Amino acid sequence: MTIECDGKVIEYNKPIDIYRLMEQLSINREVYLPMVNDRLVTEDYRAEKGDSVKFIKVVSGG
Amino acid sequence: MKCRVCGEPAVISLKAYSTALCAPHFISFLEKRTLNTINKYRLIENGEKPIVAVSGGKDSLSVWFMLNKLGYAADGVYINLGIENYSDISLAKIEKMADLLMKKVYSFDIKRLSDKGIDGLAKVLKRVPCSACGMIKRYVMNRVCIEYGYTTLVTGHNIDDEASALFGNVLYWKEEYLGKKNVVLEARHGHLSKKVKPFFLCSERDIAAYAILNNIDYIREECPFSVGAKTLIYKDMLNRLEQLSPGTKIQFVKGYLKSFIKNRQEDIKNTENFCSKCGYPTYGSICNMCRVLERLNIGEGHICFDEYDPSVLDTTERLMT
């Protein structure tokens, strides 16, 4: 599967729960929304091989 | 996770409310929450004519979209800051939304003041770009209301914006700013329009989800001048707290509204003067914007707006844009 966050793309081979992935990548759930194959998902969603996972940053402003 | 309402697969979990919702029920939840804020704080009352300050970001486009969906017909106002590879993209997204809503957009181009955009103007004024931008936005947004008869200026400020500003003001005990933040700032003396924040109690995360679920095409790039801004540092700290203890931000902001703000509003009213040139509120005799115009040797006539009105574009023109 491909994982995209802040413009960086990485490959991951095994199925994994989104919350585990967020822990591994140190992603704060308040700052990013997880999307799998362009659809919003909850953190317990299990991403499978071939999925496209994106973390959308939600924080803005200066 | 399953949707708490219908049992279908959820698309978002809301830790602060210990719940998860599917797309239709989440959209309905956020709209109801916003409507409750509008009604509770009397943000938009019968006979008022609202206009939304739009930037092209998720918050302003979502509040514009939602208000019109909920039956509050609102036009938009945009300030083109002349930032390369950013401002024109923002404007394109705003016009796209205007086409969808069939609503008018007034835009003010900062190049009317400085041909080098906000960066150049900030240098001339010896301010940082965010400070110059804030000052000009406040003035111009108010100006469009007064000039075109809009009673109520709507902004997309959310609970994260409010919590981070409050956090910064408490951290440095900026007493002069504490008490100024509110869900609604009433119109005063015919020179200052009413300002309202329907998303005051909605989180940035929820608004981003709302934008995505409604296919709202917003600008995801950050303003290049916001890099390293203190607001973003405060937001980061508050989000760490929120992750460890869900509900922290809402308690912080609601606590402020309940216990602090009532005591401060009268103080603020008593300390304000009005600009001798344009009538805008100021602490001195002339407001900051009039000082800027004086310094640039520019007349007030330069503060004027371009209008984009999808209702007068013919079908061919709309298809081409």
Q: Looking at this predicted complex, what is its ipTM?
A: 0.97
Inter-chain Cβ pairs, chain A and chain B, closer than 8 A: 73
For residues B185 and B193, give the distance between their C-alpha atoms in angstroms, rounded to a whole number: 8
**Alpha helix (H) residue ranges in chain B:** 23-40, 58-69, 87-101, 117-125, 129-148, 159-171, 204-213, 230-244, 248-259, 265-271, 288-295, 315-320
Q: How many CB atoms lie within 10 A of CB B244?
A: 8
**B317 near A CB under 8 A:** no
Stretch B104-111: mean pLDDT, rounded? 95
Q: Which residues of A touch B15 (CB under 8 A)?
A: 29
Give how far the C-alpha of residue B56 lies from the chain's centroid of Cα atoms, to the nearest Å: 11
Nearest CB to B12 within list A30, A42, A59: A42
What b-and-e string marks burial along A2-13, b requiring 16 or more CB atoms within 10 Å of the CB?
A: ebebeeeeeeee
**pLDDT single digits (tens) B23-42:** 999 999 999 999 999 999 99
**Three-state DSSP class for residue B80:** strand
- Could you tell me the pLDDT band of residue B267, with boundaries at 50, 70 and 90? low
Q: Is A51 left (phi over 0), alpha (psi -120 to 50) or beta?
A: beta
- Could you tell me the pLDDT band of residue B317, with boundaries at 50, 70 and 90? low
Please say whether the dihedral angle defined by the alpha carbons of residues B295, B124, B174 and B258, taken in this order, is positive or negative.
positive
State the pTM of this model.
0.93
B191 or B133: which leads in pLDDT: B133
* pLDDT at residue B260 greater than cutoff 90: no
Nearest CA in chain B to A38: B212
- Element housing A23 (H / E): helix A18-24
Q: Any residues with CB less than 8 A from the CB of A22 and at least 6 apart, and which? A: A28, A29, A32, A34, A43, A55
* pLDDT at residue B268 greater than cutoff 60: no
**pLDDT single digits (tens) B276-310:** 888 887 878 898 899 989 988 888 778 899 999 99
Q: What pLDDT is recorded for position B277? A: 85
**B225 near A CB under 8 A:** yes
**B237 near A CB under 8 A:** no
